[in-house]
Structure 1
Amino acid sequence: MNRVQLAEFLKDRRARVGPAEAGLPVGVRRRTPGLRREEVAQLAGISVDYYARLEQGRGPHPSRQVLSALGRALRLFEDERAYLFRLAGEQPGPPAGASRVVPAGIMHLLERLDDTPAFVIDAKYDLLAWNQMAIRLMGEPPAERNMIWNAFCGPMPIGPGASAEFRSFADESVADLRAASVRYPDDEGIRALIERLHAASPEFTRRWNQHHVCVRRTTVKTLPHPQYGDLELECQVLHADDSGQRVVFYTAAPGSRTADVLCGLRERAGV
């Protein structure tokens, strides 16, 4: 264990994580950038004294559980998390889990996209954030925020008469969820969702038992709109960070009818 380098790494990373990025209220103006020691300790579930000793290079050898908690609290990317473990003399294990805290930079991006429907999902397809254009195109998000659950157990679940596009989404999302379950083997939320789906949907179980694995990427989809009919949209997927979050953008070919509809939705909202 390299206590000096571990202490310097923790101090440096703490100074580079803002309260909003860590999911904390911004509050009053701060004298120094980054998080306070007590905030890191709170987020990691350890005592302030214990964390302070780690930053001073005189703390005890942290357990793997503590290292994982610090990685989550400090919003470490996967290579940073591996570095933290190795400084502590440990081999890095699987990623800590699928975070539900959307980085402040991604939230700012959503706000600035006033002409493009966009939203953020996590590794298990929970809808975490969305912009106003997404609401204008698709309506308010449903009470059940998980897209896979809605596909198999929502008001209009997939069945024998489903469209080819809906069947393709179901196939790919199940394969994507399987990939997430391997990448985050200790994530309780992913395990719980899979158990719920097995108990409620034979269609899900049938696809799960096919053992397909994929990660969702760019695709073209047709979205039915109650006023404008079928809209052909290109679904762009941006992988936001190592936590498995993705930003999904809906765009349309320039000069197309769908592009005109998106432009009209923006103008009529007075953006």
Structure 2
Amino acid sequence: MTTRKISSKDRYVVPAVDQASQVLFYLSQAESSYISLTKICAKVGIHKSKAFSILHTLQRFGLVQRNVDGKGYALGPGLIGLSRRFLDNLSAPKLAEPLLEELAKKVRATAALGLVSGRNVFVAAKHEGDQLIGLTMRVGKRFPLTYGSHGKAIASFLPENELNDILKDKKLYFHGDPHRFDKDKLWKEIQLCRERWYAEDLEEMTPGLNAISAPVLGPNGRPIGYILVIGLATAEAVRQTGPLVAQAGKTLSRMIGARVD
């Protein structure tokens, strides 16, 4: 296998960047959700060791994500952070924006959409309503997968083997500081979230700050992200807002092809 040659007129092109760009564009056009390393090498024309290094580097920044079984690669939501200035200029509304805007206005808090990328999540879209508690959330911001209410919501709908694998991590942020993690408490929260489709964070991550998250499922029924409302003043406000967030999560899941009751 030979690496694609750069013509003399492209002497200012950096080969590694050129190859990484080819990998990204190939993943964006591929028919399968996840593409094997072998297929990527064949399409781009680079050796496996080189392709692996490129994919590993792109994965560090969330630009590429690896399948749970480690057998394939796909584009990662870190690309959203890079493109957010361009997306801000698009006239067509993004898929989640009407739902986020409605939520934010109803509950007077910040509503956001996050997407999963490996062991992290990225804020992909947001709407800040007439907030009772001042809070700004940046699109592209990265958080641990297990962070607070969104971690509980995602964990609640993962296949059992994937959830057990995550629970083996040394640092779990479901309840804030990893030293406060309570596995028995988490299992109760997971059961409750499966029943009502939302999970709570009652000042666990940040004192004085409450949040609710609902999972967003993809066509295969796996969590691909979450809808979050953050900045609620009281636990009572959380309980009243929960069903609204759950409905938004279900609606968005249906819009992208998930079968949700």
TM-score w.r.t. the length of structure 2 is 0.36
Larger Rg: 1
Q: Which protein, 1 or 2, shows the higher relative CO under an 8 Å CA cutoff with sep ≥ 6?
A: 1
Greater share of strand: 2
TM-score w.r.t. the length of structure 1 is 0.35
